[in-house]
A and B are shown apart, each in its own frame.
Chain A
Amino acid sequence: MDLNAAHSMGTTIIGVTYDGGVILGADSRTSTGLYVANRASDKITQLTDNVYVCRSGSAADSQIVSDYVRYFLHQHTIQLGQPATVKVAANLVRLISYNNKNMLETGLIVGGWDKYEGGKIYGIPLGGTIIEQPFAIGGSGSSYLYGFFDQAWREGMTKDEAEQLVVKAVSLAIARDGASGGVVRTVIINSEGVTRNFYPGDTLPRWHEELEPQNSLLDILNTSSPEPMSIQ
C-alpha cells in the first residue's frame, strides 16, 4: 500500500440547476492510493457568498485552484462593488485550469446564483474547457451516473426534487465507485442564500445487494428464532 501516494479525491461531484437556483452535491472520500485518508471531507468549497465549487481529482491541485480563485474573486468583488457573477467565477477557474493544463489534474463544477442570470452551473473538466450546463457530473463516480441522469433529469424541478435527485445520484455512485464514499453533502444556493446539508450513510436508501445495517449478529439472533443459525 502506497501511503505516500498523492491525495486524490476519486469522487463523485454533481451540480444541478432547478427553478430558482442550484444544488451542488458531493461524496466525502479522500484517498491516498487505497487508503482512505479522510472519510468526511468537504469537497464543496466556497468561492464567494453566492458561488461555490465542487472539487475532484487531485486534492492539492483543486485546493490551490480554488484558493487562487477565491483570492482574485475577493478583490474583484471589492472593485466591482457588488457580488461577483457565477460566470466570472467560472471563467477565473477556467483561466487557471487552462493556463496550467500541463501541471494540473482537477475537474471542477462551479455553481451559484447571481441576480442577472439566476442559478447557473459551469463544468470545467481536465484541460480547461468551460461548458455551461443545466446539470453537470464529475469525478470517477460520475461514470456510473451518465445513464441515470439521461433518464432521471428533468428541466424545471423544484428545490426538493432537485436535492433528492442529487442525493440519490451521489448515493448510487458511492455504491459502485470504490473511490467515492462516506457521507453525501449538498449545498443549495438561491436568491435567499446558501444552505448546507449533510446526509450520513444511514439516511440513504439501500441499493441492490446492500443490506440494512445492524449493530450485531446477536440482535438478529435474538429477534428472530431459530432459523438464522440453523444447521446446514
Chain B
Amino acid sequence: MIFVELLCRYPYVTGTSVIGIKYKDGILMAADMGGSYGSTLRYKSVERMKPIGKHSLLGASGEISDFQELLRYLDELILYDNMWDDGNSLGPKEVHSYLTRVMYNRRNKFNPLWNSLVLGGVKKGQKYLGTVVSMIGVHFEDNHVATGFGNHLARPILRDEWHENLSFEDGVKLLEKCMLVLLYRDRSAINKLQIAKITEEGTTISPPYSLKTFWGFSAFKNPTLGAEGSW
C-alpha cells in the first residue's frame, strides 16, 4: 500500500486562509503574511498572493515551498504563452484549468503539491473566481471562495453579506471583517495582511498592514467571577 507520506510527506512551512470575492470591477483577495512552522509563527513577511500574467491573481495556503514551485511552473507557462506573440494571452479560466490539471495529476501519482489555491481574474470584462480546494485537485468557481479556516469562519459571513456589484470600499470592508474573525479565531493567523485587487486594468497588491482588534467587552474583564477556575 502506498501512502502519501512516503512520497510526499508532511508540510513544513505553511500559510493559512486565503479569501477571494467578486466585486463590481473584478476580484478582491485577502491573505495574511504568515508562514507557520508547526505551531511556531516563524515567518511574518511571506507574500501569499502573486499576479500571474496580465489577467490573473493567485493566492495560496498550505506548504510555501510547493507554492514557490507552482509559481515557477506558472512563470514558464506565461512565458511560453508570451513567446507566441500572437496578441492572445492566458486568462484566469485557463490558468485555473492548468492549475487544476497539475494538482490532480500530482495527486494521482501520490506526490501532491500541498496547497489550496484561489485563482481570480478579469478578462474582456468577464470576472472569474475559482478555487482548487486541496492537494486532491477538487475545484469549483463561485462568487466568494476561501481556503482552510476561511471556509468555516469567513464563508458564512460572505454568504450573508456578499452581493453583486459591491463597491471597492464595501468589498475591502467585507474582507477585513472576515480577516478580523480569522485573526481572533485561527491560531495560525498573524496580524499582518495584504489585500489584492485585480480588474481589467491590472493587479494591485496593497502594502502590508495590521488591523485593530477589540477587547473591550465587559465580560472579558472578569470572566471567571463566580466560577473560579473556569475559563
Contact = CB atoms under 8 A, between A and B. Distances in A.
A127 B40 contact: no
Contacts of A3: none
B7 A102 contact: yes
Contacts of A125: 12-13, 37, 42
Contacts of A129: 12-13, 35, 63-65, 68
Contacts, number: 43
A204 interface: no
Contacts of B64: 127, 129, 131
A133 B44 CA distance: 10
A98 interface: yes
Contacts of B45: 133
Interface residues of A, number: 15
A11 to B, nearest CB: 16
B202 interface: no
Contacts of A130: 65, 68
Where chain B touches its partner, the secondary structure class is mixed
B12 A131 contact: no
A161 B205 CA distance: 35
Interface string A109-129: 000000000000001011111
A112 B118 CA distance: 36
Interface in A9-38: none
A146 interface: yes
A156 B64 CA distance: 29
Interface in A114-166: 123, 125-131, 133, 143, 146
Interface in B54-78: 63-65, 68-69
B9 interface: yes
Contacts of B68: 98, 129-130
Of the listed residues B13, B35, B63, the one surrounded by the most CB atoms of chain A closer than 10 A to its CB is B13
5 contacts: A94-B65, A102-B6, A125-B42, A129-B65, A143-B40
Interface of B: 6-9, 11-13, 35, 37, 40, 42-43, 45-46, 63-65, 68-69
Given A125-B42, A129-B64, A130-B65, 4 more contacts: A94-B65, A101-B65, A127-B13, A129-B12
Closest 6 CB pairs of A and B: A127-B12, A129-B65, A128-B65, A129-B64, A126-B12, A127-B65
